[in-house]
Amino acid sequence: MKKSDKPIMSHILDFLEYIDVEKNLGNKTQLTYHRLLKKFSDWLAARNLSSLLPHQLTSEIIWDYRVFLSKSINRNNNQSLKKSSQNYYLIALRNLLDYFADRDILSLPSEKIKLSKKGKDVKVKFLNLDQVEKLLLAPNTNSQTGLRDRAILETLFSTGMRVAEIAALDRDQIKIPLSVEELEISISGKGGKIRPVYFSGRCLRWLKKYLDTRENDNEKALFIRYKGQKEGSLRLTTRSIENIVKKHAIRAGVPIFTVPHTIRHTFATDMLAKGVDIRTLQEFLGHSDISTTQIYTHVVSKQLKDIHRKFHSGSELKE
């Protein structure tokens, strides 16, 4: 049987192998895609469309599926699926269609699947640069723990990395050049996706001060704990880093909602405000789908609108 003669449902296992081998996505991501696409295949089966071929998939069928998702109930809370959850199912289906295109299997183009608009339920909380500076200055850098905490905060803001990515950093990944101007390394991010991240000269200077205090230990992890149980790895957990950020946020007097992801949001909005295009920001953040990155454009658009209102209202001119 030719690939084009196989029903859509029969392609799903091939697709999962594809994202494993060619996209290098991890096992958890494959399981997630399998779960998301199973909802679509179950829906097809319920409509007696199990034998539907890729080229028979139409915009009308996709619309019916979207209507079905909008009426679906989340079994965990017995409420309708949120727009964001509906989009996860649609994104999985988009990726399946991209697989068809890559394998020259005639089907509906993935861009024909429009995502649900998230609307006002998407809120991005971030700090202004004055608040960032207060946060960075909060740790007492006269102590070893304070130097570590300052290095963590600087790394979060310089790179825009996720807290789990920060926790996973190893000491030997940070080879600080003598000039201490900048550093680029590759990390394995969400879903096993490899991307480059960049450390500023300021961040590297604090990392160097911190690492200079660790000349006598052989611990693999970049960021380690100094208190508590000494057996096993000393690597800081994501929860530990979250607690460190919260502690210094309180000390600095910045908004109480400040967590590591707040600093990632701040990195993103600052980059956009300074003219970085959305596709480049997507690469910086390691987002697999551009729609995830686009939430920041709404924030920056409002910032620009407020700036225009404040500085260019024309109120000083005579009418």
28 is catalytic: no
The residue among 56, 77, 64 whose CA lies nearest residue 9 is 56
Higher pLDDT among residues 318 and 7, named by residue: 7
- Domain range list for the chain: 3-116, 129-308
Q: How far apart are CA 217 and CA 219, in angstroms?
A: 6
Q: Kindly name the residue from 23, 39, 55, 190 that is annotated as catalytic.
A: 190
For the ranges 9-13, 129-133, 177-181, the maximum mean pLDDT occurs at: 129-133
Q: Kindly name the residue from 94, 162, 225, 248 that is annotated as catalytic.
A: 162
Fold classification of 129-308 (topology level): hpI Integrase; Chain A (1.10.443)
Q: Kindly name the residue from 66, 225, 265, 287 that is annotated as catalytic.
A: 287
Q: Kindly name the residue from 23, 55, 103, 261 that is annotated as catalytic.
A: 261
In which element (H, E) is residue 64 found? helix 59-71
34 is catalytic: no
162 is catalytic: yes
Lowest mean pLDDT among 94-103, 110-119, 193-202, 217-226: 110-119
**Mean pLDDT computed over 305-314:** 51
20-76 pLDDT tens trace: 777 666 677 788 888 899 999 999 999 998 888 999 999 999 999 988 988 887 776
**CATH superfamily, domain at 3-116:** Tyrosine recombinase, N-terminal domain (1.10.150.130)
The residue among 175, 317, 157, 164 whose CA lies nearest residue 248 is 157
125-160 pLDDT tens trace: 899 999 999 999 999 999 999 999 999 999 999 999
- Residue owning tokens 């060619």: 22
190 is catalytic: yes
For residue 80, which phi and psi values (nearest 5 degrees)?
Answer: -60, 150
Q: Kindly name the residue from 11, 148, 264, 265 that is annotated as catalytic.
A: 264
198 is catalytic: no
The structure's pTM equals: 0.60
287 is catalytic: yes
249-290 pLDDT tens trace: 999 999 989 999 999 999 998 888 888 888 888 889 998 878
Q: Kindly name the residue from 296, 309, 310, 318 that is annotated as catalytic.
A: 296
pLDDT bucket at 205, cuts 50 / 70 / 90: very high
- Residue owning tokens 């996709």: 62
